Structure 1
Amino acid sequence: MNVKWFVSIILTIIFIGAGSTVFFHVKNTVPSQLTAASNLYLESEVEEKESVPQALKEIIFESQKLVVKIELPDGSFGSGFLYNNKGDVVTNAHVVANAKEVKVTTADSKELTGEVIGISIDTDIAVVRVSELEGVDSFKLAKNRKAELGDDVIALGSPLGLQNTVTTGIISGTAREFEIDSFKYEDLFQISAPIAPGNSGGPLIDAKTGEVVGINSATMERGIIGFSIPFVNVLPLIESWSESPMEILPRIGGNSSGNSGAEISTNKDIAEYLVNYFYESINYRDYVTAYSLLGSNWQSKTSYEDFRAGFLDFLTIEVDDVLTREKESMVEVISVITAQERSEKGVSYKKFKITFELGLENDQMKILSETRESME
């Protein structure tokens, strides 16, 4: 027993000594190893952040500064964007057709004079030189690549005269072709980003890189489907005008004078576009923009927080039908929508008939009121 007892004591002392050695080894070495591992992790995290594209909001903010509204004396208008440091603005030919000088309004509301230095009679492209914008940083351009089907894009411009309007979507089709008046449109992007008259000539931007990939040029079906000219397709023509401005501009269309194709909007057009823009903003959870479209009387009765809360349970809103009509000094827009709504019972689909009244406030169209009826 004594021998066994002695052996037990010896083994216990050995185990305690070994355990102490391991404990102090871990205490002294592991923290430094953990620090090293953390440093490696942080370096990897920094590298990952550097490869992440600009945030969407930052791209929009920077891009809006370089988009202009182009107006002609007859009241027609369109959009354009600064593409080089010479003050040259790209737009559609139908926006500035048969004009030599145009009014250019910048994002900060400066009104400048632009001179048309290049225009095509069959490709819907033109360049306007604005001397006061010389030296201003221009857009990043996709000079060597085309956008692809499914790419996220941003459309900027002045639809129906509403300057600095932003819509988002995807490239929903490619290689579209058709003719409008004297212009041949070939190899076009079809886009889901809603555009309307006045967007013409504005840039189509890659939502991940901020590069211009197209020039918004045409729309159909009330702005639901838009078409954009791939920028890389027309870049050589644009650059040739910037290097050697045209001395004599060709006439476009059958008219001997005046503008043949830029847009002139009506209050009905603007009202219908605003309602569609309102729904789009709600679908993108951009409640601030949607709230900004409301008239002052509606806003005075409904706080932003209450307005936002009223739409939080709506997952998507799909516009099934729209009827627009003038009503005395206002415009009435009646829409039928299908709303995907969530509740404690789960997700359901509900149909509503919503009547909006719109009118001018300080020369701007606003949504003055809404009446909602369930169609179930």
Structure 2
Amino acid sequence: MKNKHLILSSCCALVLLLLGGLAYHFITKHYSHYHVGSVSSIVKLSNKQTTAQATKKITLKTIIHDSQKAVVQIQVKNSDSETIGSGFLYDSRGDIITNAHVVSGAKTVTVKTSDAKTYEGKVIGIGQTTDVAVVRVDKMTDIPPLELEAKGNVQVGDDIIALGSPLGLQNTVTPGIISGTNRDFTIDPFKYHHVYQISAPITHGNSGGPLIDEKTGKVIAINSAGMEEGNIAFSIPIKSVLDQVTDWSEHPQTINGINGSMTQNATQQETGDTLKSDAEYLIKYFYEDLSTHDYVSAYALLGSDWQKRVAYDTFREGYLSTMKITVDNVTGSLSTDGKQVTVIAKITAQELSNNGETTDAKYQVTYTVGYENDELKIKTGKGKAL
């Protein structure tokens, strides 16, 4: 019996050995021409989600870029003056937090987004002694709002970022620190209690913009006032006004009759200089999107004819080996009919080679920018190496 078991075991082992040899021969013969080598995850990955995760790292630059999408420039016309301020989306209703002094007495409120879209807004809540207000734009509900930090665990020395439009310069970033807390003062008719003192300067146009915690990317306060002497400014903690702005959002007040829709006939309303400035800004923003590997936002800036010619996947793949783009110079010239702008820019692109090294390449690019369905779009483009 033992001999039979020994013979059977030996036969099984021989059969397995024979099958293993045949399998090895088959694999060697049929797959020997395939080679496995290391590839760049940035250049070669085909899965969109994996590529985005690999290329878009969470850095200070990406925090700023993502935050800017929800930060707006607010242009206000009163009976006898015009002012510029800032604001930021805080909920999914298209509600924008800003300062009361920015929209006080407004006859019209125009909101301009980071990608140069222009809307009319309506004030749905405004403080009488607290310098905070809420502007609603119904057409901005598809834009993700900024995340708020309502706990208020802020310490002196914390790194912060102030975003806004000082002196009308849209999407300006000013870094600094929390230099003091619990400051109290009055600028009639507003009373400021327990506000943050910051080292980032705030000037005309900054008011109403968000103060962001550099570590978390969350809004901790509303930039509200600045001193003319020295780098001293003040921001209202979001925790102290959140209940009030939430109540306005849930129970809107009727303050002005503007309907909050896209500004109509924008090309006719804007002067040539403004259209030229917006077109130049749009090209810079396009390359900022590409530098942060936000290909979706960059592609959305292209006109419909361009998107019909070039699919998104093709567009994205064309920039996967580009690590960073710097706009060295940009100039625009208005067309004779005043409806579009030719923008010429010189750029420096940091590109990844096949061997994993980066090199700088310079290009001159020419774009045609104009309105399409009341939105400013990049209609055509071409470039050449310098």
TM-score by length of 1: 0.52
What are the within-5 Å matches in structure 2 for residues 288-327 of structure 1? none
The corresponding residue for 1:72 is 76
The corresponding residue for 2:198 is 191
One-letter amino acid of the structure 2 residue matched with residue 215 of structure 1: I
User: Runs of 4 or more off by more than 4 Å in structure 1?
Assistant: 290-296
Rounded to whole Å, the distance in 2 between the matches of 1:295 and 1:137 is: 32
Does the Cα contact within 8 Å between 1:100 and 1:116 map onto a contact in 2?
no
Rounded to whole Å, the distance in 2 between the matches of 1:107 and 1:248 is: 26
Does the Cα contact within 8 Å between 2:123 and 2:254 map onto a contact in 1?
no
CA drift at 1:132: 0.7
The corresponding residue for 1:107 is 114
Rounded to whole Å, the distance in 1 between the matches of 2:131 and 2:75 is: 17
The corresponding residue for 2:65 is 61
Rounded to whole Å, the distance in 2 between the matches of 1:248 and 1:295 is: 41
| Structure 2 residue 165 is matched with structure 1 residue 166 | no
CA drift at 1:210: 0.3
Name which of 110, 128, 137 aligns with 1:130: 137
Change (3 A) 1:173 1:132: same
Secondary structure at the aligned position of 2:63 is classed as helix
Rounded to whole Å, the distance in 1 between the matches of 2:196 and 2:158 is: 11
Rounded to whole Å, the distance in 1 between the matches of 2:65 and 2:180 is: 27
The corresponding residue for 2:299 is none
CA drift at 1:195: 1.9
One-letter amino acid of the structure 2 residue matched with residue 160 of structure 1: L
- List per-residue Cα deviations over 1:280-336 (Å, max 9, x = no partner): xxxxxxxx9x9979999xxxxxx99xxxxxxxxxxxxxxxxxxxxxxxxxxxxxxxx
Change (3 A) 1:65 1:179: same
Rounded to whole Å, the distance in 2 between the matches of 1:223 and 1:215 is: 20
| Structure 2 residue 164 is matched with structure 1 residue 157 | yes
- List per-residue Cα deviations over 1:223-279 (Å, max 9, x = no partner): 611100000110000100000011357xxxxxxxxxxxxxxxxxxxxxxxxxxxxxx
The corresponding residue for 1:214 is 221
Rounded to whole Å, the distance in 2 between the matches of 1:103 and 1:222 is: 31
The corresponding residue for 2:16 is none
One-letter amino acid of the structure 2 residue matched with residue 63 of structure 1: S
Does the Cα contact within 8 Å between 1:195 and 1:223 map onto a contact in 2?
no
Change (3 A) 1:181 1:207: same
CA drift at 1:98: 1.5
TM-score by length of 2: 0.51
Rounded to whole Å, the distance in 2 between the matches of 1:212 and 1:77 is: 21
CA drift at 1:197: 1.1
Does the Cα contact within 8 Å between 1:196 and 1:223 map onto a contact in 2?
no
| Structure 2 residue 246 is matched with structure 1 residue 242 | no
| The structure with more radius of gyration | 1
Secondary structure at the aligned position of 1:236 is classed as helix
CA drift at 1:101: 3.6
| Structure 2 residue 90 is matched with structure 1 residue 83 | yes
Alpha-carbon RMSD: 2.8
Q: Which runs of 5+ in 1 are unaligned?
A: 1-52, 250-287, 297-302, 305-376
Rounded to whole Å, the distance in 1 between the matches of 2:135 and 2:127 is: 12
Change (3 A) 1:291 1:149: farther
Does the Cα contact within 8 Å between 1:92 and 1:217 map onto a contact in 2?
yes
Secondary structure at the aligned position of 2:241 is classed as helix
Rounded to whole Å, the distance in 2 between the matches of 1:194 and 1:293 is: 27
Name which of 185, 197, 211 aligns with 1:204: 211
Name which of 190, 213, 233 aligns with 2:240: 233
Does the Cα contact within 8 Å between 2:84 and 2:205 map onto a contact in 1?
yes
Q: Which runs of 5+ in 2 are unaligned?
A: 1-56, 257-323, 333-346, 349-386
Change (3 A) 1:223 1:159: farther
Change (3 A) 1:191 1:294: farther
One-letter amino acid of the structure 2 residue matched with residue 143 of structure 1: A
